[in-house]
Amino acid sequence: MTSTASSPDTREGQAAEEQQPSWPRRLRRFGYAARPPADITARLVPPYTEPGPRLWLTLGVAKPAADRLVRWSAWAGPLLVALVAGVTRFWNLGNPKAVIFDETYYAKDAWALIHRGFEVNWPEKINDDVLRQGSGIAIPHDAAYVVHPPVGKYVIGLGEWLFGFDPFGWRFMTAVLGTLSVLMLCRIGRRLFRSTFLGCLAGALLAVDGLHFVMSRTALLDQVLMFFVLAAFGCFLIDRDHARARLAAALPVDEDGIIRADAHVAETLRWGGGPGGGRPDSAWAWPSAPSGTACTSWSSSA
């Protein structure tokens, strides 16, 4: 006689399945299988998605070469996207041979800063003379009223110092920063999403963005500000990953071989300048209030 009673393991499996949300149960008919719950180490330091060599093999690349390309993709992909962005930004950069919009302020202020050390009062109708005489134009001596911090103008002035006082010279550094920001976004996106493809996709979208393209080919301060803000976010992201990796490495393993949180580690782990969260002399202890609050909230959400 066959027993109709189900075993304890079967009943436990059915109970676990019933506890799942309804959408995973519905998707099981299409072959979906829920991932096993990740341990605390995988939550703190999520692994990167490993690309496969199938694309390169389909294109006829030999297996050893395809494996090398996959290993290099973490940098090769972002560099390729940045190369495309650089070509589009530097192509015919000196045209139009004109002073565009607020270049009339920043290009001339940058030229004065690297030669006089301060901004000067330029005559109102001097733009045509600037385009005609270039680096040979006489620089006034009277100081001007300053309305912007000097860093962005020094950056623009570096290009003028290298290539002269002409449209290509005063647009050169913004094109450099625009290209580097595409590379940075590829790497930031890869670290944020743990996927080289998604990181390169984010950088590619920035590379073809119209506003970013125009700002990369115009000597304005906006591109300089954007570059340093993006770089600061990238530093926050790297710092967060390093802090989480240190926390994961410090967690103990219990008798079952499972890494678990530990109260002693939480109280004694040195995050920066001291136990429990860092002293005021640590590197990240004095950011601006909004950035510091965002970084702290983000790190504590692990």
Q: pTM of the prediction?
A: 0.73
Q: Is residue 255 part of a domain?
A: no
pLDDT higher than 80, residue 76? yes
What are the b/e assignments for 107-131, b being 16+ CB within 10 Å? bbbbbbbeeeeebbebeeebbeebe
Distance CA 53, CA 62 (A): 10
Dihedral sign, CA of 23, 24, 28, 30? positive
Q: Is residue 45 part of a domain?
A: no
Start-end of H helices in 59-136: 63-90, 103-116, 127-133
pLDDT, tens digit (0-9, with 9 covering 90-100), for 44-64: 777 777 777 776 777 777 777
Domain containing residue 115 = 103-233
User: At 7, is the pLDDT very low, low, confident or very high (cuts 50, 70, 90)?
Assistant: low
Least confident of 104-108, 110-114, 278-282: 278-282
For a pLDDT cut of 90, what percent of the chain falls above it? 33
Please tell me the predicted confidence (pLDDT) of residue 278: 43
Q: Is residue 81 part of a domain?
A: no
- DSSP, collapsed to helix, strand or coil, labels residue 141 as coil
Number of domains in the chain: 1
* Residue 89 neighbours by CB distance under 10 Å: 22
Q: Is residue 63 part of a domain?
A: no
pLDDT higher than 50, residue 115? yes
Q: Is residue 47 part of a domain?
A: no
To which residue do tokens 């075993």 refer? 7
Q: Is residue 186 part of a domain?
A: yes
Q: Provide φ and ψ at 263, rounded to 5°.
A: -65, -40
Please tell me the predicted confidence (pLDDT) of residue 169: 92
What is the maximum alpha-carbon separation in the chain? 109
Please tell me the predicted confidence (pLDDT) of residue 69: 76
Q: Is residue 82 part of a domain?
A: no
pLDDT, tens digit (0-9, with 9 covering 90-100), for 244-262: 888 888 877 767 666 766 6
What are the b/e assignments for 169-200, b being 16+ CB within 10 Å? bbbbbbbbbbbbbbbbbbbbbbbbbebbeebb
CA torsion, ordered 55, 56, 57, 61, to nearest 10 deg: 160
Please tell me the predicted confidence (pLDDT) of residue 280: 43
